[in-house]
Structures are given as C-alpha cells and as structure tokens.
C-alpha cells in the first residue's frame, strides 16, 4: 500500500490498528506521520488521545500501555512511535501487535532500515496491520514525480524549469516540495513556474546549469561547456562536481540505450529510455555525434573522474580543473 492510499483511507475514516512505515525514503514516512499527528484527530480529541514517543527514549512497556488504553471522548486514539529504529527491545511490542485494539491507531516510523521479513515480528505486523516499505527514488523517476506533485498543487512548470529544479536538488523529495512551496508563494496569480522563477527563487542560473552543460556536451560544443564550468568555478554552490558527474553519467547511459533502440522515432525512443519527448533531441544528437565508441569513452571518463573527485589517483586537483580536463578528453 502506498502512502497516498493510506492517507486517502484515513480521510475516509478507514483505519487499521497498526501502520509500520519503514525504509530509506523519509519523505513518504514523514508524510504519513504528519497526517496522523495533525489530522486524524481534531484539536479537542488530540488533547486527550494523541501520544507521541521517540524511539531513543521510549520504553516498550510504556508504548504497549499507551496502545492498550481506551480513547477518551473520541472514537479512537493515535499513538505515534517516531524514530522507531532507535528503540531498544522493539520486538517486545509483539505482545501488543498480536492482539491490537481497534480503537487505537498505532503508527511506527522505522526509518533508514527494514525489518527482517523472515522473522515472526515482521510477519505479525504484515498480518495485523499495514506495512509500508519505502525506497529512495531513482533519478529518472524524479521529473515525473515532481510534475505530479506540482499538478496536485494546481501548478505547472516549463520543461527546462523542471530539469533545472530536479538536476539542482537531486532526489531530496522533501527539499523539492519545500522549494516548490517557496516559489508558489511568489507566483502571485500565475500557476506556471518558469526558468526565471527557478533562477530567482532557488538561485539556479537559467543559462549556466547542469542541463545547459548536458546540452553543450551533446552538441560537442567544447567552448560552451567550458564557459558553463567556469561559471560553476566562480559559483561553487551552483553545481558541485558530486552533482554534475552523476547527472552526466545518467545522460550518457540513456544515450547508450538510444544507440540500441533500433529506431529513430522520437516518441518510441523517448518511451524506451524513459524521458520526456521534449528532451529527446539532446539524446539523439549525442548518439549521432558520439556513436558507440564515443559514448563508451564518455562513460569510462565519468567513472575515472568521479574517482579522482574523491581523491583516488589524484593529488587534490580543483573540481573545475577536473571537469575541464574531462570535457576536453570527452568532446575532442
């Protein structure tokens, strides 16, 4: 069950006695916990029927005793166990989970890890309640996810603006949502976010960013690519090398897929490699200009310079110098 479905059921007053939220993606866990804490109960009900524990300080007997209480002046009570992964003897909660109260909504946030599915404790949770396991979102899924988030807020964004936003932030979903919120406050009566908005309110240059670097490399425009890297050098926070190299690696990995697609039809190729058709020209252009040999060379260079950027086989060369050196070898 997804976090969206869990919250949708809560909005309809459909509850299970237990929700175990685990895994690597804190964003979805936090969404469910925030809703449970602030929206399942109204303000007067919460005063008597909302209990919040933190795993590091929580005693398993206190958690069980709270869960076994009956609600006061309300149909149900909510018990939250935040940072459950830090709780000692957490498997002793099994005594309650075997026979939970229908009038208690127990929500546990077990971040950064998962229960061992082979153990009785995990099987019991799945049997008696709802188990949500989250994973970090892959980079190629971010544009689609961000677009859906924008639509849910009644907003839209230009194609380039979307790429600028996602490339700059990466897969920090909470930060993406926060930055969108910051922009939306400044839109006035508009609902469409432009590249200018991204530049003004997030601080990403619309002319010097990872997307424009990718476009320059795809066209083998060495001079243009070097100008962008020089901007990065003068503005270190604009695009650190740890952001640039993975983005370019993802780009050339998709170009490699283009070469194996066996068709030049833009829509078919876009669907095959999982990108918006609006961006497909860069991939097709790079496939034509680089070919298999050039793409393989680019991927190897990206791997080599990624190692150099963390000090492997390098004596402390500046990031901008590494990028320039790599681009010269890649494009020429």
Dump pLDDT digits (tens) for 156-197: 998 889 988 988 888 899 999 999 999 999 998 999 999 999
Domain end (from 96, 118, 134): 134
State the burial class of residue 42 (Cβ atoms within 10 Å of its Cβ: 0-12, 13-18, 19+): exposed
Domain that holds residue 180: 139-202
Quick one: pLDDT at residue 315? 80
Same domain, 285 and 181: no
More confident residue, 26 or 272: 26
Closest to 225 (Cα-Cα) out of 236, 237, 214, 233: 214
CA distances from 192 to 104, 148, 157, 180 (A): 43, 14, 5, 11
pLDDT band for position 316 (cuts 50, 70, 90): confident
Total domains in the fold of the chain: 3
Quick one: pLDDT at residue 291? 94
Q: Is 130 helix (H, G, I), strand (E, B) or coil?
A: strand
CATH number at residue 198: 1.10.8.60
> HEC states along 172-202?
CHHHHHHHHHHHHHCCCCCCEECHHHHHHHH
Quick one: pLDDT at residue 168? 84
Same domain, 121 and 196: no
pLDDT in tens, 254-288: 999 999 888 878 888 888 888 777 778 899 999 99
Say if residues 274 and 140 touch (Cβ distance below 8 Å).
yes
34 CB-side CA count, 13 A:
9
Question: If you average pLDDT over residues 224-237, what whole number do you get?
Answer: 93
Same domain, 164 and 281: no
Question: If you average pLDDT over residues 210-232, what whole number do you get?
Answer: 94
Question: If you average pLDDT over residues 124-134, what whole number do you get?
Answer: 93
Statement: residue 22 has pLDDT above 80: yes
CA terminus-to-terminus distance, the chain: 50
Question: If you average pLDDT over residues 295-324, what whole number do you get?
Answer: 93
Question: If you average pLDDT over residues 92-109, what whole number do you get?
Answer: 96
Which pTM was predicted?
A: 0.76
CA distances from 137 to 6, 8, 114 (A): 19, 22, 16
CATH number at residue 43: 3.40.50.300
Statement: residue 18 has pLDDT above 80: yes
Q: Is 52 helix (H, G, I), strand (E, B) or coil?
A: strand
Q: How high is the mean pLDDT of the chain?
A: 92
Statement: residue 306 has pLDDT above 80: yes
Same domain, 227 and 326: yes
């Amino acid at each position: 069950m997804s976090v969206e479905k869990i919250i949708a059921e809560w909005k309809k007053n459909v509850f299970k006695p237990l929700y175990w939220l685990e895994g690597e993606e804190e964003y979805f866990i936090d969404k469910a916990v925030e809703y449970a804490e602030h929206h399942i109960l109204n303000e007067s009900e919460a005063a008597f029927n909302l209990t919040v524990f933190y795993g590091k300080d929580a005693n398993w007997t206190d958690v069980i005793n709270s869960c076994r209480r009956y609600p006061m002046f309300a149909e149900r009570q909510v018990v939250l166990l935040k940072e459950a992964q830090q709780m000692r003897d957490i498997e002793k909660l099994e005594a309650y989970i075997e026979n939970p109260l229908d009038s208690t909504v127990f929500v546990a946030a077990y971040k950064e890890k998962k229960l061992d599915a082979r153990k009785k404790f995990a099987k019991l949770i799945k049997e008696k309640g709802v188990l949500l396991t989250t994973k970090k979102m892959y980079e190629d899924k971010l544009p689609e996810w961000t677009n859906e988030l924008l639509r849910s807020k009644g907003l839209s964004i230009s194609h380039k603006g979307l790429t600028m936003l996602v490339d700059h932030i990466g897969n920090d979903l909470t930060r993406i949502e926060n930055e969108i919120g910051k922009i939306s406050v400044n839109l006035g009566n508009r609902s469409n976010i432009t590249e200018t908005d991204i530049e003004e309110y997030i601080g990403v240059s619309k002319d010097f960013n990872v997307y424009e670097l990718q476009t320059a490399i795809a066209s083998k425009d060495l001079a243009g690519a070097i100008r962008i890297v020089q901007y990065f050098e003068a503005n270190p926070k604009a695009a650190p090398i740890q952001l640039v190299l993975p983005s370019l690696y993802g780009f050339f990995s998709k170009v490699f897929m283009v070469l194996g697609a066996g068709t030049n039809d833009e829509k078919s190729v876009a669907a095959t490699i999982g990108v918006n058709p609006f961006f497909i020209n860069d991939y097709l252009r790079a496939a034509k200009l680089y070919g298999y040999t050039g793409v393989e060379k680019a991927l190897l260079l990206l791997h080599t310079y990624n190692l150099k950027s963390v000090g492997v086989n390098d004596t402390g060369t500046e990031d901008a110098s590494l990028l320039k050196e790599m681009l010269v070898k890649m494009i020429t």
